[in-house]
Amino acid sequence: MTNVSIIGIGQTEVKEMWETSIRHLAWYAIEAAMDDAHTTKIDAIYVGNMLAGALSHQNHLGALVADFAGLRGTEAVTVEAADASGGAALRQAVLAVESGLVETALAIGVEKMTDQTGSPVEAAVATGLDADYEAMQGLTLAGAGALLMRRYMYENNLQVADFAGFSVNAHANGADNPLAMYRNRLRAEKFALAPLVADPVSLFDAAPMGDGAAAVIVTRHERALDMVPQPIRIAGSALATDSIGLHDRRNVTWLKAAELSAHKAMAKAGVTPEQIDLFELHDSFTIMAALSLEAAGFAARGQGWQLARDGEIGRNGRIPISTFGGLKARGNPLGATGMYQIVEVARQLRGEAGANQVENAKIGMAQNLGATGATAVTHVLRAAE
Amino acid sequence: MTNVSIIGIGQTEVKEMWETSIRHLAWYAIEAAMDDAHTTKIDAIYVGNMLAGALSHQNHLGALVADFAGLRGTEAVTVEAADASGGAALRQAVLAVESGLVETALAIGVEKMTDQTGSPVEAAVATGLDADYEAMQGLTLAGAGALLMRRYMYENNLQVADFAGFSVNAHANGADNPLAMYRNRLRAEKFALAPLVADPVSLFDAAPMGDGAAAVIVTRHERALDMVPQPIRIAGSALATDSIGLHDRRNVTWLKAAELSAHKAMAKAGVTPEQIDLFELHDSFTIMAALSLEAAGFAARGQGWQLARDGEIGRNGRIPISTFGGLKARGNPLGATGMYQIVEVARQLRGEAGANQVENAKIGMAQNLGATGATAVTHVLRAAE
């Protein structure tokens, strides 16, 4: 296990917030995390963000966020790994605290998608793909998801309808989450009727992008025990990469970085998939949910979709996923998404998930992916003993 | 002292490289560092970069660079803090190795400025300023430099010509560096005749932006001693921030973050300014060189420019700066600049600086600034005993 524990969590709603600047968005999550931890003493800040430079004309978020949070002077940098930026920010916070050079670190994911609209946004999102060999040819993120889904359907002889369970589950859970972007329930028979985004990816396969920020404060475990009643231990933490372009992968339908980071994080935590009570995975597309379940060891290759079909991913299923709606219903604020996952797992392990509570949750895992899985960050969290 | 040492260094020329993609540029520096360290075993990669998303349409550099360097799978993320991104990347590598969770880390700074030209580049560079309160009003980085220089001249009753010594020194040193962007010597009497960029900042005050990449490989000191003949100890390491906008600072002509990070890094290293044999500072503008010397403790407030006037910054002076040409003559590839500084200090401490050698250099400092100093990263390096 790592020697790092979470002492505070905070998050905003995910939605379109045209009137809110990125510095305010970040502050709302930080303020909530500080309130929760009952501390404002932070020694380092790691800001997960992908697109502020492109969409808000604002780089240099470390200094900006630190100052706006009342922490002028504090060590602060931006960490970027496409839509895995949030998880990557937490990874840096873990390393910083483990180094002994930083006592208390704050990891925040923040993304402001609505300063622009239309094709500039789509082009900005595509900077997570291989610029020279994918985006340059016109491939978008949804297009890349479509290639993966089509290939997986071919290999496993599936229909679009076979992916319905992922979205139905996400929307069922999102309906109970007041912070979710979409709170409507979805019936399986409606799933296959959705308009296409990039054939075969439909509106109901693809997660909606929105504005949002989520933050956690971490410190050494022994210190955390003195500070808060329920510190959440970061038992395992790992970040791995794969080729950025799909064309360079030996098996496009196997997420190697997801497998590697999940394996390392679970080994560090000393747990197996069977011991994990819930799994916040990166369901940017339904196909990514299926592939993540397989790469993390919850299903054999080509069988991840069956967990959705068989109802195993629900709150009372074998491995609950997207318990607050996931990317699909809670919404996907790219660089913030990984931190939402962490905040949600922490809420589950504290027993503070309300209507979304997975009963008796003691060990939870979060996996944040960048683009088509070229970066994968996995964290295993444990409830206080 | 930290327990981290440099075992390999690598760098490319700084110039316009229209035909070179950012992945190749990164690889050239990594290959050189791997050759120098005699190892290809890297456990984590920190990529300092500011503008690949804007200028090369490529984010997600961690995965891209890892894969292209033959390190597919390796933990890798981008670290951004405007033109302090390079120093910030090394800071993450130091924390990672100190954590004990990463054995060998590679920090690289890489910037590709020449995929576009003109106002898109200027606008991209301005994302290091406060987007809402500075860049939105039309302020550019050179404009911000001009505001600082004008105020400093007013406070200290100076003329433009009083800054000449910084550029003359930088160009004298750059002339002996085959990797420098500009190798012409500059006479003081020509300095005041240069065309203005943003009054009073002239072409000879402002550092030229170019393409470049520089990398170092670090590991635990005891391990480094077994691996290479001359490991360079990272004695001190610190990163601090200030308000991103000039208007929010109590004293615009005092670089608070530079002072804070220099103070922390020197304290960690157990050294005072008097013990430092050379100082690679962030001379993006001559005014920044003057302010950095003051903030780091080499001159009293308002007197940094006198070190240039009195010839104290030359190779044989009291505190040699910009020993390979600095940002002014070696060139300023924004997110790579901080890593060039580290590579240059390491070459000096190894006694491998050739014509640029500062005699008997044992302790060197590098300070990398973001924009107008909203981020400052300071590293103190020591030669092997």
Q: Does B260 reach chain A within 8 Å, measured CB to CB?
A: yes
Q: Residue B60: which of A99, A237, A374 has the nearest Cβ?
A: A374
Residues 6+ positions from B193 with CB-CB distance below 8 Å: none
Of B217, B327, B216, the residue nearest B280 (C-alpha): B327
**pLDDT, position B188:** 95
Q: Do A73 and B256 touch (CB under 8 A)?
A: yes
Shortest distance, CA A33 to any CA of chain B (angstroms): 21
Q: What are the tens digits of pLDDT across the range A250-286?
A: 999 999 999 999 999 999 999 999 999 999 999 999 9
149-168 of A, contacting B, C-beta below 8 A: none
Inter-chain touch A241–B62, beta carbons under 8 Å:
yes
Which residue of chain A is at minimal alpha-carbon distance from B378?
A75
**Interface membership of A93 toward B (CB under 8 Å):** no
User: Which residues of chain B make contact with A140, given a CB cutoff of 8 A?
Assistant: none
What confidence score (pLDDT) does residue A192 get? 87
Residues 6 or more apart from A226 whose CB is under 8 A from it?
Answer: none
For residues A304 and A290, what is the distance between their CA atoms, to the nearest angstrom?
4
Q: Alpha-carbon torsion B91, B97, B102, B107, what sign?
A: positive
Residue of B nearest to A97 (CA): B99
The confidence band for A324, taking pLDDT boundaries of 50, 70 and 90, is very high
Per-residue confidence (pLDDT) for residue A116, from 0 to 100: 82
**Do the chains contact at B239 and A50, CB–CB below 8 Å?**
no
Q: How far apart are CA A87 and CA A78, in angstroms?
A: 12
Q: How far apart are CA A271 and CA B189, in angstroms?
A: 71
Cβ–Cβ under 8 Å, residues B304 and B294? yes
- Which residue reads 């470049």 in tokens? B212
Q: Which two tokens stand for residue B227?
A: 């691996």
B chain contacts of residue A96, beta-carbon cutoff 8 Å = 95, 99
Establish, for the pair of chains A and B, how many residue pairs have beta carbons separated by less than 8 Å: 216
Average pLDDT value for chain A:
97
Dihedral sign (CA A70, A75, A77, A83) = negative
| A102 in contact with chain B, both atoms CB, cutoff 8 A | yes
d(Cα A366, Cα A154) in Å, to the nearest integer? 29
Domains in chain B and their CATH numbers? 4-118+207-382 (3.40.47.10)
Using an 8 Å CB-CB cutoff, list chain A residues near B105.
Answer: none
Longest Cα–Cα distance in chain A: 57
pLDDT digits (tens, 9 = 90+) for A131-141: 999 999 999 99
Tell me how far apart the alpha carbons of residues B266 and B260 are, in angstroms, rounded to a whole number: 10
Residue B117: predicted pLDDT = 81
Task: Output the tens digit of pLDDT for each of chain B's 385 residues.
Answer: 999 999 999 999 999 999 999 999 999 999 999 999 999 999 999 999 999 999 999 999 999 999 999 999 999 999 999 999 999 999 999 999 999 999 999 999 999 998 888 888 999 999 999 999 999 999 999 999 999 999 999 999 999 999 999 999 999 999 999 999 999 999 999 998 999 999 999 999 999 999 999 999 999 999 999 999 999 999 999 999 999 999 999 999 999 999 999 999 999 999 999 999 999 999 999 999 999 999 999 999 999 999 999 999 999 999 999 999 999 999 999 999 999 999 999 999 999 999 999 999 999 999 999 999 999 999 999 998 7
Say if A267 is an interface residue toward chain B (CB within 8 Å): no
Q: Which residue in B19, B244, B259, B369 has the most chain A C-beta atoms within 10 A of its own C-beta, making it the best mutation to test that interface?
A: B244
Q: Are B266 and B380 in contact (CB under 8 A)?
A: yes
Average pLDDT over residues A378-385: 93
> CA-nearest residue of chain A to B73?
A241
CA B322 to chain centroid, in Å, comes to 10
Closest chain B residue to A69 measured between Cα atoms? B243
Cβ contact A32:A92 at 8 Å: no
Distance from CA of B185 to the nearest CA of A (A): 34
Q: Enumerate the residues of chain A whose CB falls inside 8 A of the CB of residue B64.
A: 130, 244, 374
A363 strand-pairing partners: A382
What is the number of residues in chain A? 385
Residue A29: its pLDDT value, please?
98
* B318, B33 contact by CB (below 8 A): no
Q: Is the pLDDT of residue A73 over 90?
A: yes
Q: Do A80 and B75 touch (CB under 8 A)?
A: no
359-378 in chain A: CB under 8 A from chain B? 370-371, 374-375
Of residues B2, B127, B136, nearest to A59 (C-beta): B127
Give residue A115's pLDDT band: very low, low, confident or very high (50, 70, 90).
Answer: confident
pLDDT digits (tens, 9 = 90+) for A154-213: 999 999 999 999 999 999 999 999 999 999 999 999 998 999 999 999 999 999 999 999
Neighbours of B195 (CB within 10 A): 7
Of A57, A98, A244, the CB nearest to B127: A57
DSSP 8-state code for residue A276: -
Residue B376 in contact with residue B240, Cβ under 8 Å?
A: yes
The CA distance from B93 to A348, in Å, is 33
pTM of the full structure: 0.98
pLDDT in the model for residue A379: 98
**What is the ipTM, given to two decimal places?**
0.97
Q: How much is the pLDDT for A384?
A: 83
Residues of B in contact with A269 (CB under 8 A): none
Closest CA to A342 of A80, A34, A56, A89: A89
Q: Does A133 touch chain B (CB under 8 A)?
A: no
Q: What is the pLDDT of residue B17?
A: 96
Q: Does A312 touch chain B (CB under 8 A)?
A: no
The closest CB to that of A57, out of B51, B73, B135, belongs to B135
Give, for B76, the enclosing helix (H) or strand (E).
strand B75-80
Min Cα separation B29/chain A (Å): 20
Q: What angle, rounded to 10 degrees, do the helices at B286-295 and B141-156 form? A: 60
Instruction: Tell me if A80 and B81 make a contact (CB, 8 A cut-off).
Output: no
- From A115-119, A236-240, B144-148, the region with the lowest mean pLDDT: A115-119
Going by C-beta distance under 8 Å and a sequence separation of 6 or more, which residues neighbour residue B163?
B149, B191, B205, B286, B287, B290, B305, B308
A78: nearest CA in chain B? B80
pLDDT of the residue at A385: 74
In our burial notation (b when 16+ CB lie closer than 10 A, e otherwise), range A245-264 reads bbeebeebbbbbbbbbbbbb
In the numeric block, which tokens belong to residue B302?
């308002």
